[in-house]
Amino acid sequence: MNLTENRLVAATGLCAAAAGAIFVGVQINHPPADVAHVVTTDLAVREAAKTVMAVLALAGITGMFLRHRRQFGVLGLAGYVLLSIGYLAMFAVQCIVAVVLPTVARTSPGYVQDFIDGAVGRTPAGDIGRASELFLVSGIGYAVGGLLFGIALFRAGVLARWASLLLAYGTVSVLALSALPDSFSRPFAVPTGIALIGLGISLYRDQRRQAVEVPTDLPVAAGR
């Protein structure tokens, strides 16, 4: 792996760390998930930040996978594919919440509330069409993909193992939110954010270390 590739992978590590920081930051004093707050600037900014987070997280896990794909095996590949799909679906959901719902809320507040309920794991009172399938893809990809990817990272031992386990726990734990009060949804996101920060920094340091390593045992070519 040459210097340019090392720098590129190191940059994806910073992307993962930034995604984790955003994911934790947007949970602080997050407003309730209801129609009244969909039209506020506060929620618009948070949802825009979440779309950026999804893109950065996707770049980060891609860097982790490509750098260590030989150690990951089938488990890691499955985890990467599922988690990538989960983040892509999450990106789509956040774009809809940030751009579409504020406009629709003025004419169809009932649909907007049903959409929000489905997005946070509650059962919508009305029909939300194909959005329910999008939520399912996002949830399964994020939870199952994160679990498998975290386990694969831990088994490979290539990045911070504590962060690998935290990623597996943080992502799969969201499956319990459907049976818990809404007040749990924000704290449950924090472990995944911290895991992304830890993994991103670990990947960055690993690549920076390799970038500055210069072999000292190369033969010196004789002059002619």
Q: What is the pLDDT of residues 30-81, one digit of tens each?
A: 877 788 888 888 888 998 999 999 999 999 999 999 888 888 889 999 999 9
H-assigned helices in the chain = 3-25, 35-38, 41-67, 69-95, 101-104, 109-119, 131-156, 161-172, 190-212
Q: Is residue 89 a part of any domain in this protein?
A: yes
The domain of 136 spans: 3-211
Long-range contacts, stretch 70-74, CB < 8 angstroms, 24+ apart: 71/156, 71/157, 71/158, 72/152, 72/153, 72/156, 73/152
Into how many domains does the chain fold? 1
pLDDT of residue 149 exceeding 70: yes
Q: Is residue 220 a part of any domain in this protein?
A: no
Predicted local distance difference test score (pLDDT) of residue 164: 95
**Rounded CA gap, 194 and 27, in Å?**
12
Q: Is residue 160 a part of any domain in this protein?
A: yes
Whole-prediction pTM value?
0.85
Question: What confidence tier does 155 reach under pLDDT thresholds 50, 70, 90?
Answer: very high
**Rounded CA gap, 200 and 94, in Å?**
23
Q: Is residue 223 a part of any domain in this protein?
A: no
pLDDT of residue 16 exceeding 70: yes
Q: Is residue 217 a part of any domain in this protein?
A: no
**Rounded CA gap, 111 and 109, in Å?**
6
Q: Is residue 158 a part of any domain in this protein?
A: yes
Q: Is residue 27 a part of any domain in this protein?
A: yes
